[in-house]
Each structure stands twice: as structure tokens, then as C-alpha cells.
Structure 1
Amino acid sequence: MRGRALIALPLLALLSAPAAAESDAERYRLEKTEDGYVRMDTTTGAMSTCREQSGQLVCRMAADERTMAQDEMDRLQDQLKSLEERVARLENSLTAKLESSLPTEEEFNRTMGYMERFFRSFMGIVKDLEKRDSPDTKPAPDRT
């Protein structure tokens, strides 16, 4: 079964190659010049200069496009460096330090225990005050 798969992959590649070649033939346009050829990508508008060497066509990006590509790479590298510096500053910021100093589960539970005891004592005091301030008489009748 594995042998069939190994044969099928190259066969599939061979069958799909003409379709790719046809789309490339439509995508690129060659124009003859004094020194060789100019190849234009009809999709992107990129231009390359081509020369025949040893029976093959060797193409290189046009000088102005190479400069544009290098400028774009430089801009992206500067942007990447800026973003990396920003991430480093944010990771080392006061907020990050505060978040890393959150209490442990044990400290949190101990604090909640203190708060619970405080509120229970406080509610006990409130109930005692209500009993002391309430008259010993019957409750007032409903006025509705």
C-alpha cells in the first residue's frame, strides 16, 4: 500500500504541472530588448530583466524593485524591533510586577477568614442594637 502512495505522489505532481504552467504562461509576459528580455508579472506589475545563459533564461529583479523590496524589508525590521522593545517594556512594567505579586491561595483564604469573622461580629452587634432599641410592645398593625 505504501508503494502505491509513493508512485501516486509524483504522478499527481506531473498531472497538475501543466495547469500551473498554463497559469504562469498567462501571468508573465516576455518582451524582447537589445540585451535580452523584460519579464512582467501581469498580476503584480513587477518587472525583471532576463538574459540567456547556457541555453536558459535567467531573470533578475529590476534595480528599482530591488531597492523598493530592500526599503520595505528595512521598514519591517524597524517595526519588528520597535514591537519587541514595546513587549519587553510591557512585560517589565509595574502592572506586570503587581500581577506577579498576587497573594497565594493560603493568604487569600486567611484574609477571607478575617473578613468573615469581622462581618459576623458586626452583624451580631447590629442584631443586639436592634433588640435593645425595639419596644417590648406588640408590633404595630398594618396600615393598608
Structure 2
Amino acid sequence: MSTASSSRLFLPVLAVLVLDLAGASAAAAQAMPDTENGRYALSSTSDGVLRLDTRTGAISTCSNSGAGWACYAVPDERAALEAEIGRLQADNEKLRKDLASRGPAVAGKTEEPMPKSDSLKKSEPKIVEGDRKIEIPLPSDRDMERMMSFLERAWKRLIEMANRVQKDVNGRI
């Protein structure tokens, strides 16, 4: 081969090598996000990089998609909780002021809680001392509604069973 033909081959090969090196350096530049002169601390993860902003303390997850690196802020639960606590404290203060502006408390009010009574608890039969008779308390309206609801459901189920048995005997099932 002559030197002219070898130089013709060498120039395109050299151009391809230069372009490959330029592309490799550009790919290397895009391989990791810029740390901006030490502002960001980077830590590798399985799907990308965690980026800590050393000035603000914000954390972002960065990943390399087909279009390049993209970083998304990680939600700061502590900040959200502190904001909610602040809101609740402000609401509490507002309600205290509103309550204080309503005037003095009702006279005769006690700080003791009312005794709790269980509406479903059955009262004991009372014995009248003079006649020695036992008084049995009648069921409440709520108890009667519950009993009627139960009986209605039981009756419907009984009718449905009878209909199924009738169809089975007639051979329709």
C-alpha cells in the first residue's frame, strides 16, 4: 500500500476514534450527576443515586433514564409532621381563645365525669319490699327492634329453604 492510501484510511479511523473519545467523555459526564463543587454528597443505590444537598439537607433520588439524569425530591416526613403539629397547635390556641371569649362556665357545673351507664346492660329485677313481688323490667324499644329484625330475617330464610326444598322435590333444581 502506498502512503497516500494509508493516510486516506488513517484519517477516517482517526476521526472515528476522536468522535468515540468525545462521546465517551460526554457519556462519562452524564454517567453521574454533577456534584456542584462539593455541595452534593452522592451515594449509589441499586436503581440510581441518592443525592444529599449539604446546604439545605434535602435528599433526592436520581436515576439515569434514556433522556439523561433526573432527580426527584424525597418527601420529608419530618417536615410534614412538624407542619401538621404547628397547624394543630394554632387551631388549639384559636379554640381556646374562642372558648374564653364565650364567658364564664355554667354555674353548678362540676369537673367530675358523669357516671357511664351501659344501655345494653340488663337491669336486675327489683324486689318490692312490701309485697315481696319481683318486678321484671320490660325490653326497650331498641331491644324490640333488634328482636323483630332477627325474627324477620329468620322467617325469610325459613321461607327460602322451604321454596328450595319444594323445587328439589319437583325436580326443578
TM-score of the aligned structures, taking structure 2 as reference length: 0.31
**Where is the helix percentage greater, Structure 1 or Structure 2?**
1
TM-score of the aligned structures, taking structure 1 as reference length: 0.37
Q: Answer with 1 or 2: which has the greater Rg.
A: 2
